[in-house]
Amino acid sequence: MLKDPLKKTVKGSQSNKNKSKSNQYDMIVFCHLRWQFVYQRPQHIISRMSKVMKVLMIEEPVDYNQENENSATILQITDSLHVLQARVSDIPSIANILPNYITNNNISIGWFYSPSFNSLLTSFNFDTVVYDCMDELSFFKEVPQELINQERELLAQVDIIFTAGKSLYESKSELHPNVYCFPSSVDESHFAKALNGIAVAAEISNIQTPIVGYCGVIDHQIDLSLLHETAKLLPNISFVMVGPLSKITKEELPQEENIHYLGMRSYNELPSYLKAFDIAMMPFAINDATKHLSPSKTLEYMAAGKPIISTEITDIIRDYSTCVSVIVTAEDFAESITFLLDKRDQLSLQMEYHDILKNTSWDATASTMQSIIAKFAI
């Protein structure tokens, strides 16, 4: 959950005199997730892509007033990675201001994280169009039909689809001939800091142990009722939620003395929170919205060496059921917590984690993606 330090922020339009190679890009990324929100799949992949090409990420429009309408802010994350935040009324209107910020329209790669940007395809001449699919939109109740229609249109125009999990791969393979599965990976060395001599974050060090913890976005994908019932069954266990709220309010969160909401913390800080966990949890709701979920935090928890409890997520059961405790009810959850806290020998678990982690990394994911794109472009 990293808030990136920005080297430079450029506001407003730029004159032709100032236009130079700084406005020329090799890849344009269209993303519904803001760069400075939770540091997850788009940030991991695109930051690595930007090491070999110049990248501009275009976010959804930001709020504006009458004085700064039809302008944009360029966040310079690095010299080769910029983020455009447009102050316009809707996504199609971004096309009207693009000439002020991009010199070249002939660009090697167009990379989509959301089909809501589909209308901007005509603003560029891309050699290759990629859709890195993170969710099965048709299963989200709150997703408007327009977005589902936009995805169908995008699928007809993209050259390559990458998917964030095996279930998504199986779904999209029925709709496109060039689909490749790249489950979310992990920066193992970063989260392995929790195994070493780093200090536990001060605010969590004051919470009663044992701690069963979660790191990630807190939204409708979390089974809050399951969390609540389990917390009531185990009043001497602290349940800690680290992460921002999304599409839910504080009033919807279950309240018990042993449930602690710590809010959003930076990606760099996460190991110091994970270090305090006795058990890591993934209490996801089981519904259509999570049917194709492949949680990246599974591998992050493994890298931090934590026993893991999860609800019945398909990709978790398929890939990690031998080392992740899978539960259904609050009673199951409580029983699993009690068992794992009493279990002293973690050597076999750590060895299994090691075997899984050695075969995955964000560096390898980005490199393989680049190889596929390069072969396709020949």
160 lies in which domain range? Answer: 8-184+361-377
Q: Tell me the DSSP string of 304-372.
A: TT--EEE---HHHHHHHTTTEEE--SHHHHHHHHHHHHH----HHHHHHHHHHHTT--HHHHHHHHHHH
Q: What are the strands of the beta sheet with 259-263, ordered from one edge?
A: 259-263, 238-242, 211-215, 279-282, 308-310, 324-326
Instruction: At 81, give phi and psi (nearest 5°).
Output: -135, 115
Residues 224 and 248 in one domain: yes
Rounded Cα gap, residues 11 and 84, in angstroms: 10
In a domain, 224, yes or no: yes
In a domain, 100, yes or no: yes
Instruction: At 178, give phi and psi (nearest 5°).
Output: -120, 80
CA torsion sign, 327 to 330 to 331 to 337? positive
Closest CA to 66 of 88, 84, 86: 88
Q: Strands, E, within the chain: which ranges?
A: 8-11, 27-31, 55-59, 71-78, 81-87, 106-112, 125-133, 160-163, 179-181, 211-215, 238-242, 259-263, 279-282, 308-310, 324-326
CATH number of 84's domain? 3.40.50.2000
What is the structure's pLDDT at 206? 95
Residues 40 and 160 in one domain: yes
What is the structure's pLDDT at 139? 72
3-state secondary structure of 299: helix
Q: What's the number of domains the chain is made of?
A: 2
Residues 301 and 351 in one domain: yes
Measured over all CA atoms, what is the biggest interatomic distance in the chain, rounded to whole angstroms? 69
Residues 170 and 201 in one domain: no
3-state secondary structure of 160: strand
Residues 206 and 239 in one domain: yes
Instruction: At 282, give phi and psi (nearest 5°).
Output: -135, 80
In a domain, 116, yes or no: yes
Tokens of 163: 């998917």
Q: Strands, E, within 237-310: which ranges?
A: 238-242, 259-263, 279-282, 308-310
Rounded Cα gap, residues 10 and 268, in angstroms: 26
What is the structure's pLDDT at 360? 94
What's 198's DSSP letter? Answer: P
What is the structure's pLDDT at 344? 63
What is the structure's pLDDT at 345? 66
Which residues are 215's β-sheet partners?
Answer: 242
Closest CA to 308 of 332, 277, 348, 354: 277
Residues 129 and 220 in one domain: no
CA dist 39 to 34, 42, 142, Å?
9, 8, 23
Residues 158 and 269 in one domain: no
CA dist 297 to 30, 46, 58, 294, Å?
24, 19, 26, 9
Residues 169 and 278 in one domain: no
Residues 57 and 136 in one domain: yes
Closest CA to 320 of 280, 289, 288: 280
Residues 203 and 174 in one domain: no
Residues 180 and 50 in one domain: yes
What is the structure's pLDDT at 8? 42
Model pTM? 0.89
Residue bearing tokens 């929170």: 273
Name the pairing type of β-strands 71-78 and 8-11: antiparallel
In a domain, 154, yes or no: yes
In a domain, 3, yes or no: no
Residues 176 and 52 in one domain: yes
Q: What are the strands of the beta sheet with 81-87, ordered from one edge?
A: 8-11, 71-78, 81-87, 55-59, 27-31, 106-112, 125-133, 160-163, 179-181
Residue-by-residue pLDDT tens, the chain, 378 positions: 333 433 344 444 444 444 445 789 999 999 999 999 999 999 999 999 999 999 999 999 999 888 899 999 999 999 999 999 999 999 999 999 999 999 888 999 999 999 999 999 999 999 999 999 998 887 776 778 899 999 999 999 999 999 999 999 999 999 999 999 999 899 999 999 999 889 999 999 999 999 999 999 999 999 999 999 999 999 999 999 999 999 899 999 999 999 999 999 999 999 999 999 999 999 999 988 788 888 989 999 999 999 999 999 999 999 999 999 999 999 999 999 999 999 866 788 999 999 999 999 999 999 999 999 998 876
In a domain, 240, yes or no: yes
CB atoms within 10 A of CB 149: 12
3-state secondary structure of 58: strand
In a domain, 168, yes or no: yes
In a domain, 223, yes or no: yes
Q: Is residue 283 a contact partner of residue 220, using CB atoms and an 8 Å limit? A: no
